[in-house]
Amino acid sequence: MKGKLKIIVIFLCFVAVFYGSLVKTISAAEVPGVTKDKIIIGTLSPLTGPIAMVGIPIADAVKDYFSFINEQGGIYGRKIEVISEDDKYEPPQAVASLKKLIDRDKIFACASTSGTPITAAVAPTVGREKIPSMAPIPAYGIFEPKPPKYIFAYGPFYADQVIFNIEYILFTLKAKDPKLAFFYQDDDFGQDGYRGFKAAVEKYKLNVVATEKYTRGAIDISSQVLNIKRANPDFLILTFIPSHSIMLLKEAKKLGLTIPIFSCANARLEEVIKVSGDAADIYHCAEYTALPNETNVPGMAKLIQNRNKRNPAEKVPPKYYILSYVNALILGEGIKKAGKDLTREKLRSALESLKDFNTEGLTGSISYSQNDHCPMTAMRVVKANSKTGYYEPITDWGLTKLNLKQK
């Protein structure tokens, strides 16, 4: 019997140690993540896996911006600490990572809820925990018809960007009865782009000669490009991810398809120009932030200066860095507006009452309301220039004429 007793005791010790390591000490902060001299902000984004090229800049931008704020003395004397978690772009992982940030790291607010499917998956948790969060991607599925109470973003939906591109063709290029082709990734964002395309086609009575799609992960789209070429369109509208934009441009050049191609902002990466070379000269994007080469824009100059201080190796801020930097700006402004007596509810209402927030040229002005947590901000059409490796704006800032939100 003694042997068995020993085993039971050891087993119980095991159990105790195991549980002990999981249970954490209960700290005495009234508001989670806020102390006299510190605010803890979390970010959730893919830091590994193929989408890491989006997720890493998102996390970096938040860190860099708040380092800048800390150097200025913080907000009401509180320094901001940023903790980043990897969600591997897998929804169950993301929920676990967010819960860890909330329960273990005690974040006060979240500066990035990662991409659209992740945001959707963590939305119930965000709502339950009532934790104000910024989503980097303006996603129709999340913010319409009624926005989640605690999640904020900015920018036009993919549908709106497609409409903006089409309106550029109709009203700026003044194309007469243009023949359009549409090509999209068969995914949530591609389907949103398609929604915009269909709306524009219906409203403006447009002639569609080809519609093609590809599945995420396809390594070849040559047959679709061939189909498009055979249909002889005047313009090609896309909702793609950058890697496939590159494939498209190469294939288009090879097959002699030289019509202007219009993409959404998510594929406005300098890498697209770099890898496609001169095939990129027909590539246009609808873009709603300033461009990294626009150093005369005060917000962009400050962003680049801040970034170079912390990351001197890379000169050009990636697109998603700029996007996320604006989110950090918004969050910082919200925290400031919420006042010295900081609570999550106060932050949320501060954000919701933000009107005409000026990002110093990085984006159009941003205004929130109770019913709109993702305002469409101004866009421009930008064109790729393979000689400089950058994009150049070819229109002024504007919104779409056809507003799908008026329902």
Partner 1 sequence: MISEGLANFLQLILSGLAVGSVYAIVALGFVIIYKATDVFNFAQGELMTLGAFVCYFFIVQLHIPIIWAFLLTFVSTALIGMITEELFFKPLVGEPIFSVIMVTVGLSVFLKGVTGLLWGYMIKKFPVFVSENPISFSGIVISPIHLTTIIITGALIIVFVLFFKFSIMGIAMRAVANDQDASLLMGISVRRIFGLSWAISAIVASMGGILLSSITILHPSSSFVGIKVFPAVVLGGLDSIPGAILGGIIIGVVENLAGGYIDPLVGGGVKEITAFVILIMIMMIRPYGLFGKEEIERV
Partner 2 sequence: MRSGDFKTSYGEDMALLQTTFIKVCIGIFVISLIGFVLIADKYSIYIINLSAIATIGSLGINLLTGFTGQISIGHAGFLAIGAYSSAILTKSGFPFLVALPLAGLISTIAGLLVGIPSLKLRGLYLAITTFAFGFIVEHLANSWVSLTNGAQGMEVIPANIFGINFDTDKGFFFLVFPLAAFAIIFARNLVRSKPGRAWIAIRDRDIAAETIGIDLYWYKLSSFAVSSFYAGVAGGLIAHYIQYIGPTHFELLVSVQYLAMIIIGGLGSILGSIFGAVFMTILPEFLKLLPDLLRGSYPIVTEKFADINLILYGLIIMLFVIIEPKGLNGIWNNIKVYWRMWPYTH
Provide the 8-state DSSP code for 172: I
Q: Applying CB under 8 A, does 353 fall inside the site for partner 1?
A: no
Which partner, partner 1, partner 2, none, binds residue 11 by CB below 5 to 8 Å per kind?
A: partner 2
Q: Are 367 and 355 in contact (CB under 8 A)?
A: yes
Q: Applying CB under 8 A, does 247 fall inside the site for partner 1?
A: yes
Q: Applying CB under 8 A, does 219 fall inside the site for partner 1?
A: yes
Q: Applying CB under 8 A, does 246 fall inside the site for partner 1?
A: yes
Considering only residues 27 through 86, tell me which ones interact with partner 2, judged by CB under 8 A. Answer: 47-48, 52, 85-86
Residue with tokens 């789209």: 221
From residue 382, give the alpha-carbon distance in Å to each of 58, 144, 231.
Answer: 22, 27, 26
Number of residues lying near partner 2 (CB under 8 A): 44
Contacts of 259 (CB under 8 A, 6+ apart): 233, 234, 235, 236, 282
Q: Which amino acid is at 281?
A: D
Q: Max Cα separation, the chain?
A: 94
The tokens for 277 are 């070379």
Among 3, 20, 145, 217, binds partner 1 (CB under 8 A): 217
Q: Which amino acid is at 373?
A: H
**Contacts from 47-50 at CB under 8 Å and sequence distance 24+?**
47/84, 47/85, 47/86, 47/88, 48/86, 48/88, 49/88, 49/89, 50/89
- C-alpha 247/C-alpha 276 separation (Å) is 8
Phi, psi for residue 289 in degrees, rounded to 5:
-120, 170
Residue with tokens 């929920």: 95
Q: Applying CB under 8 A, does 267 fall inside the site for partner 1?
A: no
Q: Applying CB under 8 A, does 277 fall inside the site for partner 1?
A: yes
Shortest approach of partner 1 to residue 68 CB, angstroms?
23
Q: Applying CB under 8 A, does 117 fall inside the site for partner 2?
A: yes
**Helix, strand or coil for residue 321?**
helix
Q: Please, how many CA atoms are within 13 Å of residue 338, restricted to the half-sphere of its CB?
A: 23
Residue span binding partner 2 (CB under 8 A) among the ranges 117-125, 234-242, 298-306, 369-377:
117-125
If the CB atoms of residues 96 and 301 are measured against partner 2, the closer one turns out to be 96
Site string for partner 1, 171-210 (x = CB under 8 A): ---------------x-----------------------x
Shortest approach of partner 1 to residue 143 CB, angstroms?
27
Which partner, partner 1, partner 2, none, binds residue 309 by CB below 5 to 8 Å per kind?
A: none
Of 203, 155, 75, the C-alpha closest to 366 is 155
The tokens for 38 are 């510190």
The tokens for 235 are 């313009």
Does residue 145 have a cis bond before it (omega within 30 degrees)? Answer: yes
Among 52, 170, 173, 175, binds partner 1 (CB under 8 A): 52
Among 43, 97, 211, 363, binds partner 2 (CB under 8 A): 97
Q: Applying CB under 8 A, does 304 fall inside the site for partner 2?
A: no
**Helix, strand or coil for residue 337?**
helix
Which partner, partner 1, partner 2, none, binds residue 103 by CB below 5 to 8 Å per kind?
A: partner 2
Of 375, 348, 306, 331, the C-alpha closest to 68 is 306
If the CB atoms of residues 21 and 406 are measured against partner 2, the closer one turns out to be 21
Residue span binding partner 2 (CB under 8 A) among the ranges 185-193, 229-237, 271-279, 281-289:
185-193
Q: Applying CB under 8 A, does 318 fall inside the site for partner 1?
A: yes
**Residue ranges binding partner 1 (CB under 8 A):** 48-53, 56, 186, 210-215, 217-220, 222-224, 226-227, 230, 242-243, 246-247, 250, 253-256, 269, 271-272, 274-275, 277, 318
**Residue ranges binding partner 2 (CB under 8 A):** 3-4, 7-8, 11-12, 15, 19, 22-24, 47-48, 52, 85-86, 88-93, 95-97, 99-100, 102-105, 117, 120-121, 123-124, 128, 141, 186-188, 190-191, 215
